[in-house]
């Protein structure tokens, strides 16, 4: 398989920092993540432990199908074998998922791709020339009756017709199959940024900042105690502060939210169509000893062979005294245009989800709408106590240690409620990985997490779904979340096997799981000397405010207030390296930054969360206030790309990621701009 470049190499290098990526994470045709094989795939030739979308059973099925093809010509047989085995390639999702439907044959590299991109492979022509007159039973290239035999020439008049069907126009397709497995061109990534420049725009402490769905410069901010405000973000360089009315919150839920340590208002999400329907959702903790409405099924229950009386709750609480809640609210009902309203209706519209918690920690609590599918994702920790003693994170029927995916636009049917024992008012998306698996909780999208603390979708590559997962003892991790992914806890902590101190809930055998290991992270010993560590997941930086940070994933340690930038190389490989990033306070910060004692470095306190606004600028939410990433030159950091990114001629956010649009963009560049790029390239590279 080859990655087809879409522009001349020099020009691609020159403008790479301006271009959003259109690659996606390695995925299989069922949208699951490829895993390490537990045994060699004898037919398709994958070694034990190699990354593949097939297991031994799949390999055997492909071998049987190939045998039934009855191909008499050895050359054609080898070609067809390679095509059938492409289903096992870690990038089979890209190879076969050519719109508008999943193909039976991977996208074949052909002369159209060659002429557009410089790709010398013409595998489509090879297939045609080798197999056009060879009978193939149950041919993958035909739509014939099962068991029938056909030649390519029975269906296609010429190579052009054949390659039009299985090669496509390729203008927007960056990956094609050339008869071999995935390979990458290793590119030299640009040097890491010199540092991150911050400005302080507010003194308040907030857990959530969510951009207004109407695309404006407004955001919703919420504190842990239960108040939500509608705020206006000042323009970069204006010297302004975050503007909102402290005395008049958008919504005040302090009377229903239990606020203490890891309890509180933990998540906030606005419906993608909020501007029209005014719907939004709040994730919070409640105490049933204080509120009659705080009443949900205990997460330790008979479905998972768990007896609440055996839990031994900490801090003197009773089993499932505290609950995690997702509730729906709406913008003020008196407003016909929800985007203009400044308050919400304080009466809850619908209780989406309620679950009793086994312990007083590890509640996760964040909620997000998937940018591509519109479903609500709910991040839930393992429920607490040292080492997840009841093994909730690996239990297939438990909601704990999971990422749940809910359809909140469809009410559940009575049949669904009776058969699935839902935890509230929602439906199960039909493409959830376990929607039809009676042995698995159908809400589950991914599992094996300890305490996911701050997750985000890459705004330009929505298949990249990052979560920071807090460690038990040693390794704080960043995971790339995918459908049906098992992230190992508590069999693994990071890359190492974990031995829990007590296991009343039993263990999961190492041989029974295919864990997906972190793509980034850090050891406690390498991150902090303050005696504690806890990861705060961040965002892929997609603003051009700091072009040297563009495309890098920013994350931090909550206690040590250190930050890293993760860089993927090769692109689309899922392979990341992380670099510690120094940070400073802008000399023109609207609010002066506190300094670390005996140092000029800014003191942020704890970094509790990150946020992204509609302009893709990144914010740090800390116990000392709200900080925004600003131009590196304001902190005397050198970024050679900054002047280009801020030049009037630069298109906002860079050109489109579409290959055809990139080519169009390149043709429109003037000779003067090209010359300027060449000069800059000699300086940068």
What is the per-residue pLDDT across 203-260, written as a single tens digit (0 to 9) for each? 999 999 999 999 999 999 999 999 999 999 999 999 999 999 999 999 999 999 999 9
pLDDT cut 70: percent of the chain above it: 81
Treating both helix axes as pointing N-terminal to C-terminal, what angle do 74-85 and 123-131 enclose, rounded to 10 degrees? Answer: 140
Q: What is the mean pLDDT of residues 18-22?
A: 34
Lowest mean pLDDT among 102-106, 165-169, 331-335, 500-504: 165-169
Query: Residues 343-359: what's their mean pLDDT?
Result: 95
Residue with the larger pLDDT of the pair 675 and 520: 520
The stretch 282-293 carries a mean pLDDT of 94
At residue 412, the pLDDT reads 77
- Who wins on pLDDT, 231 or 574? 231
Q: What is the pLDDT of residue 13?
A: 30
If we measure between CA atoms, which residue out of 290, 273, 128 comes closest to residue 215? Answer: 273
Q: At what angle do helices 123-131 and 159-166 cross, to 10 degrees?
A: 130
Of 574, 626, 571, 671, which is closest to residue 13 (Cα–Cα)?
A: 571
**For residue 16, pLDDT beyond 60:** no
Distances (CA, A) of 463 to 135, 189, 481, 600, 675: 40, 22, 9, 40, 36
Is the pLDDT assigned to residue 149 strictly greater than 50? yes
Task: Decide if pLDDT at 316 tops 80.
Answer: no
Q: What are 140's two structure tokens?
A: 């993958």
pLDDT at 155 over 70: yes
Structural contact between residues 464 and 458, judged by C-beta atoms closer than 8 angstroms:
yes
- Per-residue pLDDT, averaged over 476-502, amounts to 96
Which is nearest to 278 in space by CA: 218, 353, 221, 329?
329
Angle between helices 74-85 and 56-68 (to 10 degrees): 150
CA distances from 373 to 125, 329, 367, 398 (A): 37, 21, 14, 24
Task: Give the mean pLDDT of 476-491.
Answer: 96
pLDDT of residue 8: 34
The arithmetic mean of pLDDT across residues 674-684, rounded, is: 37
* Half-sphere exposure in the Cβ direction for 462 (13 Å, CA): 8
* 485 contacts: CB under 8 Å, gap ≥ 6: 32, 33, 446, 447, 448, 479, 516
577-to-128, 291, 478 alpha-carbon distances in Å: 42, 47, 12
- Asked if residue 557 lies in contact with residue 536, where contact means CB atoms within 8 angstroms, the answer is yes
CA dist., res. 141 & res. 127, Å (int): 11
Lowest mean pLDDT among 98-102, 109-113, 487-491: 98-102
Cα 568 to Cα 174: distance, rounded to the nearest angstrom: 17
Residue 397 has pLDDT above 80, yes or no: yes
The predicted structure's pLDDT at residue 136: 94
Range with lowest mean pLDDT among 44-58, 194-208, 400-414, 658-672: 658-672
What pLDDT, on the 0 to 100 scale, is given for residue 644? 56
> Would you say residue 32 has pLDDT above 80?
no
Pairwise CA distance, residues 471 & 495, whole Å:
11
| pLDDT confidence of residue 31 | 72
pTM to 2 decimals? 0.78
- Higher pLDDT among residues 598 and 17, named by residue: 598
Mean pLDDT of the chain: 84
Q: Is the pLDDT of residue 669 over 50?
A: no
Q: Does the pLDDT at position 650 exceed 70?
A: no
Q: Looking at per-residue confidence, does 100 or 329 come out higher?
A: 329
- pLDDT at residue 671 greater than cutoff 90: no
What mean pLDDT comes out for the span 369-389?
Answer: 96
């Amino acid at each position: 398989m080859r990655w087809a470049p879409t522009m001349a190499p020099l020009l691609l290098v020159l403008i790479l920092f301006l271009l959003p990526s259109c690659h996606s994470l390695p995925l299989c045709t069922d949208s699951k993540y490829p895993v390490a094989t537990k045994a060699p795939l004898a037919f398709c030739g994958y070694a034990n432990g190699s990354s593949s979308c097939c297991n031994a059973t799949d390999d055997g099925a492909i071998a049987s199908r190939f045998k039934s093809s009855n191909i008499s010509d050895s050359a054609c047989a080898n070609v067809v074998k390679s095509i059938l085995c492409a289903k096992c390639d870690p990038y089979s999702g890209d190879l076969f998922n050519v719109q508008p439907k999943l193909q039976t044959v991977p996208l074949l590299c052909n002369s159209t791709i060659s002429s557009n991109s410089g790709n010398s492979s013409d595998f489509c022509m090879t297939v045609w020339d080798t197999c056009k007159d060879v009978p193939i039973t149950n041919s993958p290239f035909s739509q014939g009756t099962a068991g029938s035999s056909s030649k390519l020439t029975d269906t296609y008049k010429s190579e052009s017709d054949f390659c039009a069907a299985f090669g496509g126009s390729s203008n927007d397709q960056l990956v094609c199959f050339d008869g071999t497995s995935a390979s990458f061109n290793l590119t030299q990534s640009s040097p890491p940024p010199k540092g991150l420049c911050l400005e302080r725009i507010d003194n308040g402490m907030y857990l959530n900042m969510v951009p207004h769905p109407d695309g404006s410069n407004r955001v919703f901010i919420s504190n842990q105690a239960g108040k939500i405000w509608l705020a206006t973000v000042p323009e970069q360089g204006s010297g302004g502060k975050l503007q909102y009315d402290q005395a008049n919150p958008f919504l005040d839920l302090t009377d229903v939210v239990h606020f203490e340590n890891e309890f509180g208002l933990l998540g906030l999400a606005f419906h993608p169509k909020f501007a029209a329907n005014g719907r939004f959702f709040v994730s919070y903790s409640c105490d049933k000893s204080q509120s009659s409405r705080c009443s949900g099924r205990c997460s330790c229950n008979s479905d998972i062979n768990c007896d609440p009386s055996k839990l031994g709750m900490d801090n003197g609480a009773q089993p499932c005294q505290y609950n995690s809640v997702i509730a729906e609210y709406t913008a003020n009902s008196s407003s016909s245009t929800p985007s203009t309203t400044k308050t919400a209706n304080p009466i809850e519209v619908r209780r989406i989800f309620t679950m009793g918690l086994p312990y007083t920690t590890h509640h996760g609590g964040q909620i997000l709408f998937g940018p591509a599918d519109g479903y609500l994702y709910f991040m839930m920790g393992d429920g607490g106590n040292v080492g997840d003693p009841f093994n909730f994170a690996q239990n297939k029927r438990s909601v704990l240690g999971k990422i749940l995916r809910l359809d909140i636009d469809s009410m559940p049917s009575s049949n669904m409620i009776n058969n699935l024992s839902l935890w509230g008012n929602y439906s199960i998306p039909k493409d959830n990985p376990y929607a039809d698996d009676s042995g698995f909780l159908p809400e589950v999208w991914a599992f094996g997490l300890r305490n996911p603390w701050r997750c985000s979708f890459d705004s330009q590559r929505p298949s990249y779904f990052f979560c920071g997962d807090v460690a038990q003892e040693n390794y704080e991790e960043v995971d790339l979340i995918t459908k049906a992914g098992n992230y190992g806890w508590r069999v693994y902590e990071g890359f190492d096997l974990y031995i829990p101190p007590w296991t009343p809930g039993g263990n999961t055998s190492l041989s029974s799981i295919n864990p997906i290991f972190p793509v980034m992270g850090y050891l406690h010993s390498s991150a902090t000397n303050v005696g504690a560590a806890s990861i705060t997941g961040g965002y892929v930086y997609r603003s051009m405010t700091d072009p040297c940070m563009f495309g890098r994933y920013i994350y931090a340690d909550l206690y040590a207030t250190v930050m890293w930038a993760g860089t993927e190389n090769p692109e689309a490989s899922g392979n990341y390296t992380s670099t510690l990033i120094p940070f400073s306070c802008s000399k023109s910060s609207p609010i002066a930054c506190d300094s670390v004692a005996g140092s000029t470095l800014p003191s942020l306190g704890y970094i509790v969360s990150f946020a992204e606004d509609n302009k893709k600028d990144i914010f740090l939410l800390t116990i000392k206030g709200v900080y925004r990433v600003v131009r590196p030159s304001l902190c005397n950091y050198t970024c050679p790309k900054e002047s280009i990114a801020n030049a009037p001629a630069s298109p906002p956010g860079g050109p489109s990621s579409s290959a055809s649009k990139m080519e169009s963009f390149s043709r429109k560049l003037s000779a003067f701009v090209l010359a300027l790029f060449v000069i800059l390239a000699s300086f940068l590279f």
